[in-house]
Structure 1
Amino acid sequence: MFDKLKLKSKSSNITASEPVTPGQAPSKRQIYQSRRNFGVNLGACFVLEKWIYHSIFPEGAGCELEAVAKWTKDEGADGAKKRFEDHWNNYITEDDWKWLEDHEVTSVRVPLGYWEIGGGKFTKGTKFEPYSEVYSNAWDIFKKKFVETAANHSISVLVDIHGLPGGANGSDHSGEQSGGDAKFWNDEESQLLVLDLLGFVASDLKSYDNIAGIQIVNESEFADDPKKQTRYYGAAINLIREQDKEIPIVISDGWWPDQWAKWVQSKQGLGTIGVVVDHHCYRCFSDDDKKKAPDQIIGDLEKDLLTNITDDSKGVDYMVGEYSCVFDGASWEVNNSDNHRDQYVVDYGNRQGQLFAKRARFGSYFWTFKFESGNGGEWDFRTMVDKGAIRPEGSLKGKNVPDKSVFEEKLNNAFGGHTDYWSKTDPKGKYEHERFKEGFTVAWADASEFLKFNGSLIGRVETLKIARLQEHIAAKGLLKYLWEWEQGYDAGLKEFESSL
């Protein structure tokens, strides 16, 4: 572990990412890392939550730390270890994986606690240290039963470091406490521990093609002045990049999407740091939402979901790491809305999916996959899929790449429209319209490679666009009209999808 004095220096001069190989088509690994995802969270598997899986909690335990402590006291480390391993091993079956594949799920987000990484390797000095033996096989089970099995079904895994020492927020899903304060941000020792952990994760998982990304924090607490978060984020990015130049790194937006768009934009310049900003969409917790009827909440999504982002979020990729189809009970009482419950639930899920496809193109992950007892209603993935409330927006599975004549027609039409517009708008202007054509061609080629892999769409559009623009600059020079290349790339993606 590096000296804490280096923490601040490690967070500056953030290392660039290399999401694609210059001059080459995206590889299968790079497609896994950059495609649009229709995903689901495997909630309460490795980070326990009592409301989802209750039997793993002994009487009186409210969080995972309390559960493992009591089972260890009552049954010894071996007994507790068997209980936990049985839960992990039996949480998801081969039939479950097949169901996910059949329903076009492309990715699963797996919440993990720091206490499980490396089989308890990173618990020294933490509250979980006395129970590290219980978790000695957790990391191997995660890799074998989750990462490797997911790959057999062409499903990626988003590695979500969900539980941090002290908690990144005051909720009980940190694993250490049933509510309270977020202590992680004021504890340098804990941050150093996790940074060491993240380097290990990046190195140890690098051999797998189907890792969609590494999420370095879940639901960071809101901070008007996020100095502590930016220091941790910057250092984490650099430590991961020392091991893996390509892997997407996911940060939390701390419930303020624009704050982190600005931060990413300020760090990128002409290159990309390969970061995805994670936003969570729930409309059932705030007092304001509880006063609204379901139809009003659905109608308000257009104006309050990932809107008002600086420079139209240029250069920044978003995902929605958690969402549901749940309204609070108080909302159902407004205007007797419960009389139309099924339709509102479907409308809500569909509207979210439509907006995610436009504003969070890296993908969305429903919370949550399954419940121990029955189903979780509007929290339950299968139930909502079967109801038609959530579905893979813009699915292209089974589609073929358009032939060359379609490409040429689309290119000529788009190029003609671009040149005509500027000829009329600024007839005396001197432009470099060929850049538009080159951007269009590169985008079409990238989109074609993604489509060939199970009908995939490009999700990290901003990251890939920046990376390909760097290739263009290297070949043609840093000239005035790069925006024409960028417009061409955007047009190429749009026209490719419209031709299918």
Structure 2
Amino acid sequence: PNIPLSVHPLTCISWLVCEPWMQRDEWANVLKCGDSASEFDCMRDHYLGSNRETGNSRFEQHWKNWINPATVQSVHDVGLNTIRIPIGYWSYTDIVDKASEPFADGNRMLPYLDAVVQKAADLGIYVIIDLHGAPGGQQEDVFTGQNNKPAGFFNDYNFGRAEKWLAWMTNRIHTNSAYSTVGVIEVLNEPVSRHDANNRYPAPGEDPGLIQKYYPAALKAVRDTEASLKVPDNKKLHVQFMSSKWDSGNPRSVSSVANDPYTAFDDHNYIGFALGDSNGDQYKLMHSACTDSRLVSGQDFTFTGEWSMTSNADWHDKTFFNKFFTAQQQLYEKPGMAGWIYWTWKTETNDPRWTYSYATYLNYIPTDAAGLEKNVYQDVCAGYR
């Protein structure tokens, strides 16, 4: 698929991997997960044994309705050209240890994924598939679908399962016409990094396992699958790794990754988090957006794959958030960058700092492609550099 000249997408989050804080009502009343921290915990706490089918049915209702083809149409209608779809390894049920990993049956999400990517293909929307929840959990966070402490991904057994997932998904992308505009597969979202608190880095087995073992093996899993399918170069997937700015190591320090012409890099940048206690200071928020650079030498196809307007600035201040969005859009579209992916499209928080659809509803941000294009030329950084 053809890569957009500048990626203007967003993330379909809390769909195939749930984050309870973004969907409290859905978590409590559709999934009926109560106080469970993660999907793994929900199925373990509420749906073991004879209750399992009830849990499966509730998760299937969520997968059917939270994001659907109509959502993709709405994304298209506000001028966005790409979607990023986070997904967990349990979508490939063959690699789930059913005795110890009680996730809902992931194969039941696949018809709904197929329908969403088919709608994206119909509309010419580019798609990124992101391994967001890895076996064992790559971070101490429920965005992995689990709540493991410490992160348990970084061992040969779980690396091997993730590689099987990548081969399976690569095959699915290349053999199912619904996936015709899928152009990127991300091998791992947000592993434990040096900027994590509480001496979390490195997780057991992470250094040097992530860079020296998993990343080259993940790339090989994709490329070997493509070779077996005789995929021509111009149809190969871009294989995406976290940018060096994530600070969990440099993927290009391994020759196979450095020498592959179809790699991509994922930069995540939450200015409001980085500023800590100063994240209500509008000047500091704007100064950061107006003076930063997300470029990394050698990482030729990099986009900022997660960002938002989260901060302690009063979310009712439309004038400020219009500027803050525009400054960040310009940062992520600087020469050398491939664009950006906003986190996220839909939440139940009614907070425009996190929710792109709500921010467009309030007219805090552009509501069509022409408006996004005009934003590139606005001088919102005068006085903030």
- The answer for the alignment partner of 1:157 in structure 2 is 127
Cα gap change, 1:254/1:75 in structure 2, threshold over 3 Å: closer, same or farther?
farther
Q: 2:111 aligns with which of 116, 130, 140?
A: 140
- Separation in structure 1 between the aligned mates of residue 125 and residue 346 of structure 2, nearest angstrom: 17
SS of structure 1 residue aligned to 2:317: helix
CA contact under 8 A between 1:43 and 1:111: conserved in structure 2? yes
CA contact under 8 A between 1:107 and 1:155: conserved in structure 2? yes
Cα gap change, 1:126/1:241 in structure 2, threshold over 3 Å: closer, same or farther?
farther
Larger Cα-atom Rg: 1
- Separation in structure 2 between the aligned mates of residue 126 and residue 73 of structure 1, nearest angstrom: 11
- Separation in structure 1 between the aligned mates of residue 305 and residue 367 of structure 2, nearest angstrom: 16
CA contact under 8 A between 1:162 and 1:218: conserved in structure 2? yes
- The answer for the alignment partner of 1:423 in structure 2 is none
Task: Quote the offset at 1:279 in angstroms.
Answer: 0.9
Match of 2:210, as an amino acid?
Q
Match of 2:113, as an amino acid?
F
Cα gap change, 1:200/1:395 in structure 2, threshold over 3 Å: closer, same or farther?
farther
- The answer for the alignment partner of 1:458 in structure 2 is none
1:221-266: CA deviations, max 9, x gaps? 22588522212111110110112351011111364469537537x6
Q: Is 1:183 aligned to 2:152, yes or no?
A: yes
- The answer for the alignment partner of 2:289 in structure 1 is 301
Cα gap change, 1:127/1:286 in structure 2, threshold over 3 Å: closer, same or farther?
farther
Q: 2:96 aligns with which of 123, 130, 151?
A: 123
Q: Is 1:362 aligned to 2:338, yes or no?
A: yes
Cα gap change, 1:78/1:291 in structure 2, threshold over 3 Å: closer, same or farther?
closer
TM-score normalized by the length of structure 2:
0.80
Task: Quote the offset at 1:219 in angstroms.
Answer: 0.6
- The answer for the alignment partner of 1:221 in structure 2 is 192
1:48-81: CA deviations, max 9, x gaps? 1111222324222111111122342387222111
Task: Quote the offset at 1:195 in angstroms.
Answer: 0.7
Cα gap change, 1:109/1:303 in structure 2, threshold over 3 Å: closer, same or farther?
same
- The answer for the alignment partner of 2:303 in structure 1 is 319
Cα gap change, 1:99/1:131 in structure 2, threshold over 3 Å: closer, same or farther?
closer
Q: 2:253 aligns with which of 231, 256, 263?
A: 263
Cα gap change, 1:288/1:215 in structure 2, threshold over 3 Å: closer, same or farther?
same
- Separation in structure 2 between the aligned mates of residue 199 and residue 365 of structure 1, nearest angstrom: 25
Task: Quote the offset at 1:139 in angstroms.
Answer: 2.4
Most deviating of 217-226 and 38-47: 217-226
Task: Quote the offset at 1:155 in angstroms.
Answer: 1.4
Q: Is 1:99 aligned to 2:69, yes or no?
A: no
- Bigger share in helix: 1
- Separation in structure 2 between the aligned mates of residue 346 and residue 261 of structure 1, nearest angstrom: 35
CA contact under 8 A between 2:273 and 2:279: conserved in structure 1? no
1:316-375: CA deviations, max 9, x gaps? 211111111111x3xx3xxxxx4982222111111111111115633311111112x362
- Separation in structure 1 between the aligned mates of residue 315 and residue 371 of structure 2, nearest angstrom: 32
- Separation in structure 2 between the aligned mates of residue 274 and residue 394 of structure 1, nearest angstrom: 30
- The answer for the alignment partner of 2:229 in structure 1 is none
- Separation in structure 1 between the aligned mates of residue 289 and residue 369 of structure 2, nearest angstrom: 17
- The answer for the alignment partner of 2:173 in structure 1 is 205
Cα gap change, 1:73/1:396 in structure 2, threshold over 3 Å: closer, same or farther?
closer
1:276-306: CA deviations, max 9, x gaps? 1111110222464636612222112343341
Gaps of 5+ in 2: 195-200, 227-232, 374-385
Q: Is 1:284 aligned to 2:255, yes or no?
A: no
TM-score normalized by the length of structure 1:
0.62
- Separation in structure 2 between the aligned mates of residue 339 and residue 385 of structure 1, nearest angstrom: 14
1:393-439: CA deviations, max 9, x gaps? 88899xxxxxxxxxxxxxxxxxxxxxxxxxxxxxxxxxxxxxxxxxx
SS of structure 2 residue aligned to 1:136: helix
The alignment's C-alpha RMSD in Å is 3.0
Match of 2:287, as an amino acid?
G
Task: Quote the offset at 1:116 in angstroms.
Answer: 1.4
- The answer for the alignment partner of 2:42 in structure 1 is 67
SS of structure 2 residue aligned to 1:377: coil
- Separation in structure 2 between the aligned mates of residue 175 and residue 315 of structure 1, nearest angstrom: 29
Q: 2:164 aligns with which of 185, 191, 196?
A: 196
- Separation in structure 2 between the aligned mates of residue 90 and residue 258 of structure 1, nearest angstrom: 35
- The answer for the alignment partner of 1:402 in structure 2 is none
- The answer for the alignment partner of 1:248 in structure 2 is 238
- The answer for the alignment partner of 1:347 in structure 2 is 323
What percentage of aligned pairs have identical amino acids? 20
CA contact under 8 A between 2:192 and 2:248: conserved in structure 1? no
Q: 2:141 aligns with which of 159, 168, 171?
A: 171
Task: Quote the offset at 1:44 in angstroms.
Answer: 0.4
SS of structure 1 residue aligned to 2:8: strand
Gaps of 5+ in 1: 1-28, 333-337, 398-500
SS of structure 2 residue aligned to 1:150: helix
